[in-house]
Structure 1
Amino acid sequence: MKAAEVFIQCLENEGVEYIFGIPGKETLDLVDAISKSKQIQFINVRHEQGAAFMADVYGRLSNRVGVCSSTLGPGATNLVTSIACANLDHSPVVAIVGQAGLERQHKESHQYIDIIKLMEPVSKWAIEIKDANTIPEIIRKAFRLAINEKPGSVVIELPENIAIQAAPPKASPVTQLPTSVPTTEALQQAVAIIHQSKQPFIIVGNGVIRQRATVELQTFVEHIQAPVTHSFMAKGILPKDDPLNYFSFGFQENDQVLQGISEADVLIVIGFDFVERFPKYWNKTKIPIIHIDALPAEVDEFYPVQVELVGNISETLKIMNTIDGLATPWSPSGNLKKQIAQSYQIDWNHKHLRSLPLTTENILHVIERLSSEKTIIISDVGAHKIAIARTFQAKAPNRLIISNGFASMGIALPGSIGAKFACPNDPVICITGDGGALMNISELETAKRLGLSFVIIVLNDHVLKLEEQMMMQKFGVSNGVTYGNPNFVQLAHSFGINGVRAEDVQHFEDVLKTALNAENKITLIDVPLNN
């Protein structure tokens, strides 16, 4: 077999079903081998950045490795932003990059740059295949690294001359990753600290969702009866009306929930990634910490670990849930839960929608009312991301996808395509600002061509709102943050999809209801914001 065919055989062995990408001269043999596969479908897209964003969200929702591809040179450099995004957001992605043949890499050569050096800082591992016989081992290692905690992106480079070499048809066996649990000594120390504490506070991060430990986390919260706050990326881990749910943190230094955290005598931090929010912003008084995660804790002055429960989060919490005497019911002073709920969710009367202004918060209230436990919300990055983190409560875990590690604008539209491949029967709503929307608007053609069905909400205010707010706060004046926009309704029509401009909140709700019930159709809703 040709090495390119062995490569695809190895991907089949890993269970790959989709590869998002754009072909080029250096990947023609690879794409030809994919066309002969009965398992893998090549999804040709309009930009390599979009391809990796699709693989990123596909990986987050499916708990499998998302795969994308590009050719050499400009195709590969177009991947960099979204590969970095997957890495810092801890999404399992493998990128396959074509490259010039080994015979011309030692000298100045058309479209050749050292992609491996470029990709090393933004990935868990970047490797060039120099011998066709190493393909099975390299692919097996790549997929293990991508999915293992903490997940991230891996880049495999396949030179053109290696792709056509003869190679034996052999794939490395796929073995299950080992599951570890904390030591007995560490568990005993953690239990002793909790027994001694009077006011523990639980902080939950994205790792709980990644490791599918939500049920065990909910049981643990009920078991210990301590207040809980969570990061943007852990929304949905507790029901909205759970009395112990103190909602999200990470908006700014004066988050209201920080008042409650400051009253704690121990923080139980579960599956939290520092990339979500540095401890100095939420643990200024250096409260002692019980660290529960798959990996040992980062060294940080404001993260004073007393004991580390290192191992699979789900298995660790199962053990903790069998231990009696952990319950330490308490509530922060004042009526903090009510204050947070009022501040983050805003009073809203759905009986008078026509009289309400078209604000991001009002739009989010409508979306929350119309969404189900299966609805997937993909948020782009901007001022609306903060509003979503504050006001939108996901009804289930891993149903709200926010880029909060690398926080890259432009992820929402291609990410929605990845979401539909991961969960084809679930409703998907893409929420984006006008800035992020136009970064990958070309993928509307991809979605239309593939016959996908989802809703795109463009929050249209002709400004980079978050940057404007920060500049006004810092300088008292803003510059370089405004721009003109196309007619988004006409733009949608030009792609052959439905486009509607919301006239008021009631009209938005009516349009959204219709769009969510439309099969095999994409609807873009242009929302001219009043805020």
Structure 2
Amino acid sequence: MTTIKTSDLFVDILISEGVKFVFGIPGEENLDFTESMRHRADQIKLILVRHEQAAGFMAATVGRLTGQPGVALSTLGPGATNFTTSAAFAFLGGFPCLFITGQKPIKNSKQADFQIINVVEMMRPITKYTKSIPSGNMLAASVRRALSQSVAEKPGPVHIELAEDVAAEETASRIFETLDFRRPIAEPKAIDRATEILLSAKNPVVIIGAAANRQRAIRALRAFVEEMGIFWCSTQMGKGVLDERSPLCLGVTALSNKDYCHYGIDFADVLLICGHDESEKPPIIMTPEGTRKVIHVGFSQANVDNVYSPSAQVVGDVANAVWQIHEKLRASGKKWDQPILKRYKELSDPLLRTGMDDSAFPMNVTRVVADIRKVLPEDGILSLDNGLYKVVFARLFQAFQPNTILLDNALATMGAGIPNAIACKLLFPDRKVVSISGDGGAQMNLPELATCIQYKISSVHIILNDNAFGMIKWKQGLAGFENWGLDLQNPDFVEIAKAYGAQGYRVAKAEEFAAILETAMNSEGVHLIEVPFSYESMAADLIQVPKKAEAVVEQIKQEFGTCVVENCLEE
């Protein structure tokens, strides 16, 4: 009987699944695994990071962008615990990835409980599947099951623990074949009910959620809204599924039920919500009287609560469900002309351009958004960390293609922006990639600049610097509390960049920023741009834009007549 070393088999399985990169920091318990990788270095590459959390973010981003699990590797104990934030990021976000952790020998303990914690139980609440491999003969089946669960809806992280002695042993096991499968399609009666509700609608609006960000669903949604003439918007993590330059785009549900986009949604009498993911902030506050009908289209049934209670459900493959509804509506000859929504878009769009040419310094974030959009090509990727500026980018930065703006509206963790950008660049070396972080979030994984330098990953990283944890400081002020505990004494970011071997720039006036960014993007190497910015102007815009949108609604009432508007607008 032919046998193979268990760690060799594990690496061969990953290669057979198309894995190109393993991100992580090995420990002594992983040495058999890394040796197996070394012998296959022409097929799979180890990206040695500076912190396991960053490795997990990178693996999750590979899964997010490809639909196939990215892979992260750590040792036991502290290496494994460092995975928890990025595992939670992938779990809530719906990003397929595999976390591999080492362990002391399990058949002959040599160090008692040194560094040993129950990693499997630690990972259980934040993964879809977690298992410690008891013998080499169990590896192939367990990995096959883990990878299968990782990509099943809702996608997410899985975890395999491989002990040192198990990795080294011989096994007669072989790679399990990957089986193709088709997701279940929606039941015909559900399609008929959804179509019936839509046919009765005067002003339907489509809301695109995170779970609709799948390639087949993108094509189906594009054909549907364009032919039917239905206005649409997206959640933050559904952003980019459709081209936001569309005259039918109402924007992004970004802040609260009183944001500008929500005033537009308030005109709708029917909402077709495709790919809602309850891990995101609710896309819309439901009308308490239930007068607006809501159709849930998702891979699984809706989880009903006080902010999401649909009138009808279409459960099954989202792409197929949208296609079926589209075919039914096409056969009926129904198309929509929505003059009220057209007028709202015409009047509200200019509200978003306020400050885009602002020369104030420190910079207005609206100007930062506008300049990046001018410089970044259509297929360029923007990787956002977390902070109040993320809401501004969600609202103002137009995405032209899917997955060209990566933001996290599920776990909403700081520290992910730079690692996510590195993963993007490794996947798409010919595309422009820019990360944006606040000064607080940037320092959580700033050492990954060294990873960029080591592996020659050309990329651009912007730090918005207000010398504070600005979002919480702003909230502190809104709550009427004294400014306390949130100001930062920051290092010289330009000098830090140079110390890592990167190019460093500090913007000195608003008019410089676009030129510096363009120079950095069109140059080889790693570039860090520090942008002093002001939270005050950003916070003012976040408050003023909804107030202006409310005035637009009143103008529309006057133009169309209150009774006409109130047929679909709730007071």
Match of 1:140 in 2: 144
Distance 2:442 2:310 in 1: 42
- 2:119 is aligned with 1:111: no
Stretch deviating more after TM superposition (282-291 or 401-410): 282-291
1:222 and 1:146 map into 2 onto residues whose CA distance is 33
Partner of 1:8: 11
- The residue that corresponds to 1:504 in the other structure is 509
Q: Which moved more, 1:310-319 or 1:74-83?
A: 310-319
Aligned to 1:293: 298
**Post-superposition offset of 1:181:** 1.6
Change (3 A) 1:208 1:279: closer
Q: Which residue identity does 1:318 align to in structure 2? A: W
Tell me what 1:431 maps to: 436
Alignment partner of 1:123 is 2:131: no
- Alignment partner of 1:386: what SS? helix
1:156 equivalent in alignment to 2:164 = no
Which of 85, 90, 94 is 1:86 aligned to? 90
CA distance in 2: counterparts of 1:333 and 1:137, whole angstroms: 54
Task: Check whether the contact 1:73–1:112 (CA below 8 A) recurs between aligned residues.
Answer: yes
After TM superposition, give the deviation of residue 509 of structure 1 in Å: 1.2
The one-letter amino acid paired with 2:336 is: T
| Superimposed CA distance per residue, residues 232-261 of structure 1 (whole angstroms, 9 cap, x where no aligned partner) | 112223333322111001312311222232
- What are the Cα deviations for residues 451-489 of structure 1, in whole angstroms up to 9, with x where unaligned? 011111100110111101111111343321111111111
1:412-464 deviation per Cα after TM superposition (whole angstroms, max 9, x unaligned): 11111111112111100001100011001111111101001111110011011
Change (3 A) 1:14 1:283: farther
* 1:306 aligns to 2:311 (yes or no): yes
SS at match of 1:475: coil
- CA deviation map 1:366-411 (0-9, x unaligned): 0001111210000000121111112111121110000111111000
Counterpart of 2:470 in structure 1 is: 465
| Inter-CA distance 505–104: structure 2 relative to 1 (3 Å threshold) | farther
- Looking at structure 2, the residues matched to 496 and 525 of structure 1 have their Cα atoms a distance apart, in angstroms, of 14
| Residue 355 to residue 438, structure 1, CA distance change in 2 (3 Å) | closer
The question of whether the paired residues in 1 share the 8 Å contact of 2:24 and 2:73 is answered with: yes
CA RMSD of aligned residues (A): 2.0
- The alignment partner of 2:436 has SS state of strand
Return closer, same or farther for 1:146/1:420 CA change in 2, 3 Å cut-off. Answer: same
Distance 1:245 1:413 in 2: 30
Q: CA deviation at 1:355?
A: 6.5
Amino acid at match of 2:179: T
CA distance in 2 between counterparts of 1:108 and 1:131 reads 20
Aligned twin of 1:24? 27
Q: Is 1:100 the counterpart of 2:104 in the alignment?
A: yes
Counting only pairs closer than 5 Å after superposition, residues 348-363 of structure 1 correspond to structure 2 as 348-349=356-357, 358-363=363-368
| d(CA) in 1 for partners of 2:120, 2:354 | 49
Cα 1:361–1:104 shift into 2, 3 Å: farther
Provide the residue aligned with 1:515 in structure 2.
520
Whole-angstrom distance in 1 between the partners of 2:283 and 2:91: 20
The offset of 1:68, in angstroms, is: 0.4
| Cα contact 2:355–2:364 (8 A) shared by 1 | no
2:566 corresponds in structure 1 to none
TM-superposition CA deviations, 1:313-372 (whole Å, max 9, x none): 2222222222223423325479432444233332534xxx76775221111110001111
Secondary structure at the counterpart of residue 426 of structure 2: helix
Q: Is the 8 A contact 1:356 1:362 kept in 2?
A: no
Following superposition, the deviation at residue 210 of structure 1 comes to 3.0
Aligned with residue 278 of structure 2, among 261, 274, 278: 274
Letter in 2 for 1:395: F
Q: Secondary structure at the match of 1:274?
A: coil
Q: Which amino acid aligns with 1:408?
A: T
Q: Does the CA contact (< 8 Å) of 2:240 and 2:399 recur in 1?
A: yes
Contact 2:127 2:156 in 1 (8 A): yes
After alignment, is 215-224 or 424-433 more displaced?
215-224
2:387 is aligned with 1:379? no
SS of residue matched to 1:201: strand
Aligned pair partner of 1:341 in 332, 345, 349: 349
SS of alignment partner, residue 329 of structure 1: coil
Match of 2:479, SS state, is helix
- Contact persistence 1:23–1:71 (CA under 8 A): yes
Give runs of aligned pairs for residues 387-398 of structure 1, distance below 5 A.
387-398=392-403
Q: What is the CA-CA distance between 1:10 and the residue it aligns to?
A: 1.3
Cα drift, residue 202 of structure 1: 1.2
Q: Tell me the secondary structure at the aligned position of residue 518 of structure 1.
A: coil
- Aligned equivalents of 1:105 and 1:478: distance in 2? 53
How much identity, in percent, do the aligned residues show?
32
SS at match of 2:441: helix
The range that moved more, 191-200 or 406-415, is: 191-200
Matching residue of 2:540: none
CA distance in 2 between counterparts of 1:71 and 1:366 reads 42
Cα pair 1:61 1:423 within 8 Å, conserved: no
TM-score (norm 1): 0.95
Partners of 2:129 and 2:158 within 8 A in 1: yes
Give the match for residue 328 of structure 1: 336
Counterpart CA distance in 2 for 1:88 and 1:193 is 31
Whether contact under 8 Å (1:13, 1:174) holds in the other structure is no
1: CA distance between counterparts of 2:85 and 2:267?
40
Q: 1:31 to 1:106 in 2, by over 3 A?
A: closer
C-alpha separation between the residues in 1 aligned to 2:223 and 2:250? 17
Moved more, 133-142 or 97-106: 97-106
Describe the SS at the equivalent of 1:305: coil
**Structure 1: runs of 5+ lacking an equivalent:** none
The number of equivalent residue pairs is 527
Q: Which of 33, 37, 50 is the aligned partner of 2:36?
A: 33
Are the counterparts in 1 of residues 253 and 284 from structure 2 also a CA contact under 8 Å? no
Q: In the superposition, relative to structure 1, how do residues 269 and 219 fare at CA in structure 2: closer, same or farther (>3 Å)?
A: same
How many angstroms does 1:21 deviate by? 0.6
Structure 1: how far apart are the matches of 2:503 and 2:355?
Answer: 32
Selected match of 2:194 from 190, 200, 204? 190
Deviation string 1:138-172 (CA, Å, 9 cap, x unpaired) is 11111111112111100111111211111125100
Instruction: Report the equivalent of 2:425.
Output: 420
Q: Are the counterparts in 1 of residues 137 and 172 from structure 2 also a CA contact under 8 Å? A: yes
Cross-structure match for 1:441: 446
* Aligned-residue offset at 1:94: 0.5
